[in-house]
Every structure is written in C-alpha cells, then in structure tokens.
A and B are shown apart, each in its own frame.
Chain A
Amino acid sequence: MNRNPNDIVRYTAYERANHWAVGMSFILLALSGLAFFHPAFYPLSLLLGGAVWARILHPFIGVLMALLFIMMFFRFWKLNIITQVDKEWLSRVKEMVDGDDHNMPESGKYNGGQKIMFWLAAVCMVLLLVSGIVIWRAYFSGLFPIGLIRFSSLLHAAVAAFMIALIIVHIYAAIWTRGTIRAMLYGTVSRAWAKQHHPAWFRQITGGGK
C-alpha cells in the first residue's frame, strides 16, 4: 500500500522477498556457524534448538541460501558492473566514511561501495558453498582427501568471518543512511533520498526532472 505517489520504487516485491529470504538464512547461518567457531559463541546454537540441531540444519540452510542468492545474483549483477565513476567513488571512500559527501562523484542506482559489496558477497557465497560441502561430514566429507577437508575447514571459517564483517558493514550502511531501510521494507524511497544519495539514478528515472 503505497500512499505517496511521489515516492520512487526502488525494489519490487519479489526483489524484497528474495533479499529477506537470503538475509534471514544468512543470520541463521552466521549465528549457528559462530557456535562452532569459538566456544564463547556456543550458546548461540540454542537458537536452532541445540548444538546437534544446529550442526544438522546449518548446511541445509546454507544450500537454501545459496540457491536464493543465485536468484538474487541474476536479478542484480548487471546493475553492479563497476564503472569509471565507481572507481572514482571508491578512491574517495574515506571522505564518505568521514561524513563528507560533497566531493563524491554522482552515483547511479548503486555507488561504488555497494557494488564492491555485491561482488565480494558473491565470491564469499561460492567459497562458503564449496568449502561447506567438503566439510559436510554426514554426506560428503568421505568423498574428499583429508588435506582438502582441513583446508576447507580453515577456508570456511575464514571466509565466514570475513563475510560476517562484510554484512555488519552492509547493515550499518543501511541504518546510517537514513531513509534506506524502507527501500527494502516497502520498496520505495523518497525523491529527496534518491536525489541526495543516487543523483544519476534519480535523473535517469525522472527523465532529468527535479
């Protein structure tokens, strides 16, 4: 129910549903995975009904998330191709983090940071899926040599930690930039938001209007 006709549609209902399905799976995976990562996090396994259930469910949720992510990937990859403007944006990212966006180049639907996030997430997904299958003792580990299992255990833990950091930044960026969360909740953003944060995209969809 969108009651403000001036708002701009940023995500369709399917895109939002897809994103939240990936997001929820990721949170379950990160919390259950951390339980195996270090004993300090072991109590998190209770969220999935205890450590044995966490061990059983984690890889299945992982495969589900990978499938959902593939759908999302094909929806969004073209919008995330990195251009010269993005490179310029990235070279000035320090100013942005510092809270000064006056000299930031005008970004399209996604800025350089968001695009890097997209590609890093895609690479992490592939690495987590492949290493996760190798260390999936119940069904697959027997098919692989021990050296590969050891390497995959290390890789899975390292990539998972990196990706959790990546997603912390992703979530924070959405909170920090006021008016962004609603894009993923209701699908729309205000015209002012679009002009402020993604001016090139704003011009493109309003045909250069204000």
Chain B
Amino acid sequence: MALQSLDIKARSATTTPSPSARETMEVAKLIDISKCIGCKACQVACMEWNDLRDEVGTNVGVYDNPPNLSAQSWTVMRYSEVEVEANKLEWLIRKDGCMHCADPGCLKACPAPGAIVQYSNGIVDFHQENCIGCGYCITGCPFDIPRISKKDSKAYKCTLCSDRVAVGMEPACVKTCPTGAIVFGTKDDMIHHAEGRITDLKSRGYANAGLYDPQGVGGTHVMYVLQHADKPELFSGLPKNPSISAMVGLWKGITKPLTSFALGMLAVGTLFHYVMKGPNEVSKDIEKEFENES
C-alpha cells in the first residue's frame, strides 16, 4: 500500500519522529470464533478487494484451503476438530492473518526505512516500494504472518484494508461475513462488544470464554472471542502468551547503536593512537646496519 495519509505512529528503521501531527482513533477488528461457520466468504472478499489470486492447489485432506498463508493469500481459515470435554466434538474455525500488534515484531526487525509503518489508528502496513526482501519481518513476527512473494521478492500480509479504512469503510472481510462473526470499529467499542458476547457464551456453558487481545505484544488490533480463552492453542496453535522473542529484542535493541558507536570510537581511537604514540618504525641502529647495502 502506498502512503495515503500522514497519521503515522511508527516507521521501520527510522530513528527520528514519524509524521504524526494527525491523530486518528484506534480501530480494531473483532473475530467471534463462536459465530464463524467456516464459509470462507471473508477469504474470497479479501482476494476480490485486494486483487489476489493464489495458485489453485490440491486438497490436503482437510478444509484448510489454501493450507497456509502466502503472498497471495493474506487470510486463511484454519479448522481444528477437538474434544475439550470427552465425547463432545467441537469444530473450532479460526480466521488467521495479521494481528496488527500494538508492538509489532515485524516493524522492529525490519532494516528498510519506511517499509513497515504503523498508523496512529493501529494498522500495521507494509509499503512494498521500500521493501528489500530480506525476510527480517518473518523473523520478528510472533504469529508467523508475513510472506515473501516468489514473483517480486517483496513481503506481503493483511493490510486490515488500510485503503478502505482510510476513507471510512470497514475491511472487506467484515463487510462480507454473512453471520456477523467479524465486526469492526474503535478498539474500545470492540472490547465492549466482546464483553457482551463473552457474557452470552458463559451463560451457554462456555465457562472459559474470553477475549484474545494479548498484552505481550501490547494488545492487538485484530482480536478474537474464543470459546476457550484459557487454551488458545486449541485454535490451530494460537500462541498463549505471544511476545517479541527475547532474541529479536536483543538483536534489535539498544545493543546496535551502542555497537555502532563502539566501532566508530575504535576507528577514531586508532588515529589517536598513531598521533599520540607515533608510528612503529625500524630503529635507527638497525637501519644503519643495512644502510650501505641498499
């Protein structure tokens, strides 16, 4: 997506403030898994709006199709059959895609200035014109979301329809969902909406129903209502306490400016050594010994 507005909170590989005079409301998409029937209308709407066509693959024996995210499939439905209670089969269907983290690991890892931006409304967007194709965003993401295109070596993922949201429309998947399982609005409204759903689910026997808005990544701008919020892993491996890996934190933290500074000081230090100690020359005695020869 190209830069459509200047309301930017964070920009990859940038050490000065981003253009952020304009403030927009924080938005969120809420996916109520208990209402999802797995029809994949959202998957299709995403392809339609974003002009994406994945390769037609083969059936892998389950409903998951395509079986994974790709540069052409920014959202996929993941189906899992579980028995949380004995003899009570549950079909848990999760719409997978970018979570639009408040503290995005992809943006933190990205070395290309402005290839990943976070708008003040919370959407994390990839600007492919600045992308260099290194794949560091994949290394940084705690949810395994970004994919590098085989065609152009650029990284792609769900934009939360930043182009639609910028002009006051809801994302394409939200508009399409026939059961109302996906809703969109301000983050506060979505949390409020989720509370109503959770109360309802609890009254229907889902004692552990809850909201998935993981604080390890500062909360997300795509949230789930889970029937079993105590066990998010049941939903096709949704991580329980996702956060940016400590390894990535160490790799991209304060260590880098410090190391850069140290290398600069070392280079300058050698110059000072030279002017303060003088060059390491051959001594006059030895030089004289060989003088007549040369």
Contact = CB atoms under 8 A, between A and B. Distances in A.
Interface residues of A, number: 51
A207 interface: no
B282 A192 contact: yes
B6 interface: no
Contact of A192 (B266, B273, B278, B286): B286
Contacts of A179: 281-282
B251 A137 contact: no
Interface in B166-211: none
Contact of B282 (A4, A150, A196): A196
Given A39-B13, A40-B15, A190 B290 contact: yes
B277 interface: yes
Contacts of B280: 99, 101, 176-178, 197
| Overall SS of chain A's interface | helix
A102 B282 CA distance: 12
B255 to A, nearest CB: 8
Nearest to A42: B113
B24 interface: no
B279 interface: yes
A7 B135 CA distance: 53
A51 B132 contact: yes
Interface stretch (B36-44, B91-99, B136-144, B217-225): B136-144
Interface of A: 4, 6, 34-42, 51-52, 54-56, 97-99, 101, 135, 137-138, 141, 146-147, 149-151, 153-154, 157, 161, 164-165, 168-169, 172, 175-179, 190-193, 195-197, 210
5 contacts: A52-B132, A56-B133, A147-B247, A176-B273, A179-B281
Given A38-B256, A141-B138, 20 more contacts: A6-B290, A6-B293, A38-B260, A42-B111, A51-B132, A52-B132, A52-B133, A55-B133, A101-B280, A137-B133, A138-B153, A141-B135, A146-B139, A149-B138, A149-B139, A165-B263, A168-B266, A172-B274, A176-B274, A192-B282
6 A-B pairs with the lowest CB-CB distances in the bound complex, closest first: A137-B135, A99-B277, A172-B270, A150-B247, A36-B111, A154-B251
